[in-house]
Amino acid sequence: MKNKLVLLGTVAALIAAFFIFYPKDTEKGECLDGNCINGPGTLVFKDGRRYIGNFIDGSYNGQGVLILADGRTYEGAWKNDLPNGFGTQANPDGTVYTGAWKDGKYNGQGKLTTADGGSYTGAWKDDLPHGIGTLVRPDGSKFSGEFRYGKAVGEGVLVTPEGKETKVSM
């Protein structure tokens, strides 16, 4: 069980990391519509990226949508070119995170649902489950309890796919 919890944290960190690999300032985009300096606009890049949303001083600020060429998307609040506030990230494989962001990372309350039907709902810090949360595996089993840096710690409740509850100490 512990290995599965650690794996979920690793997956979450990898999923969130796609913003790091697409820095806005490596290529000057073309403003197709609106005001891509101060106001709403649409900015496109040669690599297929597209940002539709609000700009302040040329940076993504306020509400906006980033669409990557491979189909990954983020829709929500931005501050200084990074997801900040509430937003949803969706990947082509069906993995979706909806929740709070800080400086481009999962921080606060959120839910990550993986393509295989697993999920983690609860507190996040720096892209990892951190705080009180519930991990649901694709087979329907679940663990509810405390997480620190992606690992289950302390007391919790393990529920089997058949619904049998067991108190556990991690």
Query: What is the residue-averaged pLDDT of the chain?
Result: 88
For the chain, residues with pLDDT lower than 70 are: 1-27
- Closest Cα partner for 156 from 165, 168, 140? 168
Structure tokens at 66: 């980033």
Q: Alpha carbon of 55 to those of 23, 34, 39, 60: distances in Å?
A: 16, 10, 5, 5
Residues present in the chain in total: 170
- pLDDT at residue 170, as a whole number: 83
Burial class (CB in 10 A: 0-12, 13-18, 19+), 74: buried
pLDDT in tens, 96-138: 999 999 999 999 999 999 999 999 999 999 999 999 999 999 9
- pLDDT at residue 13, as a whole number: 44
- pLDDT at residue 14, as a whole number: 43
Q: What is the pTM of this model?
A: 0.85
List the domains of the chain with CATH numbers: 2-169 (3.90.930.1)
- pLDDT at residue 25, as a whole number: 53
Residue type, 111: K
How far is it, in rounded angstroms, from Cα 107 to Cα 92? 23
SS3 10: helix
- pLDDT at residue 28, as a whole number: 80
